[in-house]
């Protein structure tokens, strides 16, 4: 099975042929885990520039790259040396930039969307007096109210990283749906897209919203001679439900469909396991590099009622013995000292073992930010931002207060000053420009900043630990950093949450958050910045780690989208899942299999899987019967 690392070199040459001006051709690159997908994407951009650089410059055009996260935007932009002929952005940012000037069309779409929402809410009443009915009525009234003043809105707005709570603001899902609709119904918008970006590449295309991806493919079909749409992805790594179920079946016959088969990341044993996992869905087996070695993969099975700390401590010791790698046993759950972390929140001494858990709530309980997470999870419209670390209300605490306080503790006055200079309105560019015209103004500004910093850092005097509310109150009174309106409102209301009213419940979520110890913000920040030992199964796609521990525990998870007990044969398929499999629809076992593939394929050296289960013997037999593990690779705890 191990192969020559140059096995897939022909793929980049195939893509290069698609980018010529003489015979432009859209394509879908099928690239499994560790196959060098991003490397091929970057190579394609560079070749596109070589082929069309002068034309792009003369016409004021750019090659566009859409990727999944802001971190991926930064990574790809960096690899391309921040080339001005290339625009790299997230899907939301790209979509809004495309449609933002079509305000009349946006107004028509919003009016229609609100009408559909109102009709849907009217048709689904709940029990009178229940919380669900109260929320339905509130949402209905809010939608009806918005319809009443929609013509008074002069300009609709959207901020990909903001709260988008103003009456004129669109939310994230609206921007995606709106853009898909306009691309399909307004040929002019498609022409504008093609004129701006004759080449558009989409990273992680399998998780791109299926409606928007379908609309972009529609544009490609109508502009074959002047527009190239390049999709990069792997359907086995689709982990979000709004992605296109099977891109390959939707790709036109005229497209090129190169396939990468080499796995450059993992050793032979882990590649073999990954192939067995995905064999239940497709036949896209990978090959391992000869120079990656054999590697290790082990399955540890423990009763669902086990003490997780004891089990996981046993596993790291066992893995250290099995692999001969002492770095397994030096890993402690979630311990990263941020006093010695880098200023951007990433530690220079990251945990040696990455522990992948199913839900953020599992990490919250194990790392000590459960109260913060529980409080803000009530904000359903902000849940995605909470999970990926982009929640506006928390940014000021995670990105400004934590670095400032850590720098103060270390006596790093330069870092303190830099944090204030970069983020405080007290010393903004406009303030400094105005101060330059007034005698003695600048010293007063610096004194005001120092006073504000001293007041904030004094909250930690004598090893005290303030609440988030106490920190927020100092920011509010001193103006050192800017609080979002939602946080300011909760701070102003004070007291404790308790109202069942939907409007007050939103304030109540922030009240509950403000009542929490600020230490939970620190722990949350470690986790979101990747400086803890934990990450979710969903959150590590595209990443890799030398030693990976995959934790499977359905009893700890609160969701219904995934079921490892069903995947591993510990319980039968539900009637709905069985019917969906027969009809070719997505189902819990297949979703779980894809997620399991993603997690196992992160390891570059060794892999330990811990399955907490109510049926240890059934899981053992399933793993052996399906060829996932040999009997001597399974440990019953």
Task: For 124-161, write each residue's pLDDT tens digit.
Answer: 888 887 777 877 887 888 888 888 888 888 899 898 76
Q: Pick the closest to residue 91 from 184, 182, 179 (CA basis).
A: 179
Query: What is the end-to-end Cα distance of the chain in Å, rounded?
Result: 32
What does the pLDDT average to over 103-122?
91
Residues of the chain by 3-state class (helix, strand, coil), percent to 5: 55, 15, 35
How do residues 226-240 score in pLDDT, each as one tens digit?
Answer: 999 999 988 888 877
More confident residue, 60 or 4: 60
Q: Does an H or E element contain 139, and which? A: helix 131-148
Given a cut of 90, is residue 355 above it in pLDDT? no
Q: Using the 8-state DSSP alphabet, how is residue 622 labeled?
A: H
With bands split at pLDDT 50, 70 and 90, how would you rate the model's confidence at 281?
Answer: confident
Cα separation, 556 vs 537, in Å, equals 14
Mean pLDDT of 321-336: 73
State mean pLDDT over 357-379. Answer: 81
- Of all residues in the chain, the percent with pLDDT exceeding 70 is 90
> What does the pLDDT look like over 10-50, one tens digit per residue?
999 999 999 998 889 999 999 999 999 999 999 999 999 99
Q: What confidence score (pLDDT) does residue 343 get?
A: 34
**Hey, what long-range contacts does 464-470 have (CB within 8 A, 24 or more apart)?**
465/517, 465/518, 465/519, 466/517, 466/518, 467/514, 467/515, 467/516, 467/517, 467/518, 468/372, 468/397, 468/513, 468/514, 468/515, 468/516, 468/517, 468/518, 468/520, 468/521, 469/514, 469/515, 470/518
Report the distance separating Cα 361 and Cα 203, nearest Å: 28
pLDDT above 70: residue 339 = no
342 pLDDT higher than 50: no
The C-alpha atoms of residue 522 and residue 402 are separated, in whole angstroms, by: 7
- Mean predicted confidence (pLDDT) in 603-617: 94
Measured over the CA atoms of residue 107, residue 227, residue 258 and residue 267, the dihedral's sign is negative
Instruction: Look at residue 574 in the predicted model and tell me its pLDDT.
Output: 85
Q: pLDDT confidence of 438, banded at 50, 70, 90?
A: low
Contact 573, 515 (CB under 8 A): no
Average pLDDT value for residue range 579-605: 87
Asked if residue 339 lies in contact with residue 409, where contact means CB atoms within 8 angstroms, the answer is yes
* 200, 228 Cβ separation under 8 angstroms: yes
pLDDT recorded at residue 605: 95
Helix (H) or strand (E) holding 472: helix 468-478
| Closest to 277 in 3D by CA, of 16, 505, 596 | 596
- Closest among 514, 617, 597, 620 to 276, alpha carbons compared: 597
Q: Mean of the pLDDT values across residues 286-314?
A: 92
* Element at 520 (helix H, strand E): helix 519-528
Any idea which of 115-119, 384-388, 416-420 has the lowest mean pLDDT?
Answer: 384-388
Average pLDDT of the chain is 86
CA–CA separation, 473 vs 488, rounded Å? 9
* pLDDT for 309: 85
- Comparing 336 with 375, the larger pLDDT belongs to 375
In whole angstroms, give the CA distance from residue 70 to residue 89: 8
Q: Is the pLDDT of residue 337 over 50?
A: no
For position 186, what pLDDT does the model report?
94
Distance CA 633, CA 426 (A): 60
Q: What is the dihedral of CA 465, 470, 472, 476, to 10 degrees?
A: -140
Q: How far apart are CA 603 and CA 607, in angstroms?
A: 6
Please tell me the least confidently modeled range out of 37-51, 337-351, 395-409: 337-351
pTM of the model: 0.77
Q: What is the dihedral of CA 603, 607, 609, 610, to 10 degrees?
A: -110
Alpha carbon distance 422, 491 (integer Å): 25
How many degrees, rounded to 5, is the angle at CA 539 between CA 298 and CA 532? 75
Specify the pLDDT at position 239: 78
pLDDT for position 384? 65
- pLDDT (average), residues 389-397: 84
Cα–Cα nearest to 224, from 188, 258, 266, 254: 254
**Residue 469 CA to its chain's centroid (Å):** 28
Q: Which residues pair with 553 in a beta bridge?
A: 612
**What's the rounded mean pLDDT across residues 110-134?**
85
Q: What is the mean pLDDT of residues 415-439?
A: 81
pLDDT of residue 502: 43
Residue 354: which of 623, 84, 606 has the closest Cα? 606
Q: How far apart are CA 85 and CA 48, in angstroms?
A: 10
- The model's confidence at residue 79, banded by pLDDT at 50, 70 and 90, is very high
Say yes or no to pLDDT of 341 above 60: no
Helix and strand totals (H; E) in the chain:
28, 14
pLDDT value, residue 561: 72
User: Which of 238-242, 249-253, 443-447 is predicted with the least confidence, judged by mean pLDDT?
Assistant: 238-242
* pLDDT band, residue 202 (cuts 50/70/90): very high
For 179-198, write each residue's pLDDT tens digit: 999 999 999 999 999 999 99
The confidence band for 340, taking pLDDT boundaries of 50, 70 and 90, is: very low
Could you give the 3-state DSSP secondary structure of residue 157? Answer: strand
Query: Rounded to whole angstroms, how far apart are CA atoms 573 and 563?
Result: 10
Phi, psi of 200 (to 5 degrees): -130, 120
State the virtual CA torsion across 210, 212, 216, 221 in degrees, nearest 10: 60
In contact, 150 and 114? CB cutoff 8 Å:
yes
- DSSP class of residue 261 equals -
Q: Is 367 exposed, middle or buried (0-12, 13-18, 19+ CB in 10 A)?
A: buried
Question: What 8-state DSSP symbol labels residue 358?
Answer: S
pLDDT grade for 166, boundaries at 50, 70 and 90: low
Amino acid 383: pLDDT: 66
């Amino acid at each position: 099975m191990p192969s020559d690392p140059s096995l897939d070199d022909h793929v980049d040459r195939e893509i290069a042929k698609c980018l010529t001006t003489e015979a432009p051709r859209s394509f879908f690159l099928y690239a499994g885990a560790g196959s060098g997908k991003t490397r091929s994407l970057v190579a394609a951009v560079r070749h596109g520039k070589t082929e069309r650089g002068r034309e792009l410059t003369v016409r004021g055009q750019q090659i566009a790259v859409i990727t999944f996260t802001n971190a991926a935007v930064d990574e790809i932009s960096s690899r391309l040396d921040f080339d001005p002929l290339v625009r790299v952005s997230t899907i939301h940012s790209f979509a809004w930039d495309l449609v933002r000037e079509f305000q009349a069309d946006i107004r028509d779409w919003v009016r229609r969307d609100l009408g559909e929402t109102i009709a849907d809410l009217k048709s689904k009443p709940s029990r009178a007096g229940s919380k669900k009915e109260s929320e339905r009525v509130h949402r209905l009234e809010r939608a009806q109210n918005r319809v009443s003043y929609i013509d008074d809105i002069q300009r609709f707005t959207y901020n990909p990283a903001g709260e988008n709570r103003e009456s004129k603001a669109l939310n994230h899902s609206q921007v995606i749906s709106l853009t898909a609709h306009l691309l399909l119904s307004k040929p002019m918008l498609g022409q504008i897209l093609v004129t701006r970006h004759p080449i558009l590449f989409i990273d992680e295309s399998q998780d791109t919203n299926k409606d928007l991806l379908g609309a972009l493919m529609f544009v490609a079909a109508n502009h074959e001679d002047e527009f190239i749409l390049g999709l990069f992805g792997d359907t086995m790594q689709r982990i979000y439900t709004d992605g296109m179920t099977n891109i390959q079946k939707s790709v036109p016959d005229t497209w090129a469909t190169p396939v990468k088969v080499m796995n450059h990341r993992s050793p032979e044993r882990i590649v073999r396991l990954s192939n067995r996992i995905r064999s239940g869905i497709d036949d896209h087996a990978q090959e391992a590099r000869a120079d990656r070695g054999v590697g290790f993969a082990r399955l540890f099975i423990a009763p669902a009622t086990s003490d997780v700390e004891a089990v996981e401590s046993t596993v790291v010791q066992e893995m250290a013995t099995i692999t001969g790698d002492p770095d397994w046993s030096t890993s402690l759950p979630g311990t990263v000292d941020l006093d010695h972390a880098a200023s951007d929140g990433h530690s220079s001494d990251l945990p040696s073992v990455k522990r992948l858990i199913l839900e953020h709530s599992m990490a919250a309980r194990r790392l000590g930010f459960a109260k913060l997470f529980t409080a803000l999870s009530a904000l359903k419209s902000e849940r995605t931002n909470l999970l990926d670390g982009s929640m506006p209300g928390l940014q000021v605490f995670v990105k400004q207060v934590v670095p400032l306080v850590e720098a103060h503790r270390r006596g790093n006055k330069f870092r303190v000053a830099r944090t204030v200079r970069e983020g405080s309105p007290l010393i903004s560019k406009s303030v400094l420009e105005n101060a330059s015209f007034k005698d003695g103004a600048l010293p007063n500004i610096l004194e005001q900043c120092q006073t504000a910093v001293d007041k904030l850092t004094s909250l930690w005097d004598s090893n005290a630990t303030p609440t988030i509310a106490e920190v927020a109150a100092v920011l509010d009174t001193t103006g050192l950093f800017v609080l979002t309106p939602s946080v300011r409102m909760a701070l102003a209301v004070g007291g404790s949450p308790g109202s069942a009213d939907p409007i007050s419940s939103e304030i109540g979520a922030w009240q509950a958050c403000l009542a929490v110890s600020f230490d939970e913000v620190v722990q949350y920040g470690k986790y979101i910045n990747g400086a803890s030992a934990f990450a979710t199964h969903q959150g590590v796609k595209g990443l890799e780690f030398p030693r990976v521990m995959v934790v499977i525990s359905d009893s700890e998870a609160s969701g219904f989208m995934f079921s490892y007990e069903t995947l591993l044969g510990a319980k039968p398929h539900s009637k709905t899942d069985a019917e969906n499999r027969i009809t070719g629809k997505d189902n819990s076992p297949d979703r779980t299999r894809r997620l399991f593939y993603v997690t196992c394929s992160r390891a570059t050296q060794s892999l330990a899987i811990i399955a907490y289960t109510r049926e240890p013997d059934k899981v053992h037999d399933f793993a052996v019967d399906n060829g996932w593990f040999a009997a001597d690779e399974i440990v019953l705890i």
